Amino acid sequence: MEKVKKVAAFTTSVLITGDSGTGKEVLANYIHQYIPQKDAPFIKVNCAAIPAELFGYAEGAFTGTQKKREGWSF
């Protein structure tokens, strides 16, 4: 928890990963309690609900075309 307090002192983004039920939201709330803007709203973002298209796209995703190489589709 000392590392959490150190991180909270900086204006930065923090990515918390882990399996379902491991307490990621509890840790995020704890960090929020120690940031200078602790009176600001705490906004949760469920990254699993964000469409993958926002993080980039696969070739052919919009046109439906794919390159074929040695019998494999990519």
| Number of domains forming the structure of the chain | 1
Predicted pLDDT of residue 13: 84
CATH number, domain with residue 34? 3.40.50.300
**pLDDT top residue among 57 and 72:** 57
Tens digits of residue pLDDT in 42-61? 888 877 788 877 766 666 66
Predicted pLDDT of residue 54: 74
Q: E strand or H helix at 4, and its extent?
A: helix 2-8
Domain membership of residue 67 as a residue range: 2-73
Phi then psi dihedrals of residue 17, to 5 deg: -120, 160
Radius of gyration of the chain (CA): 19
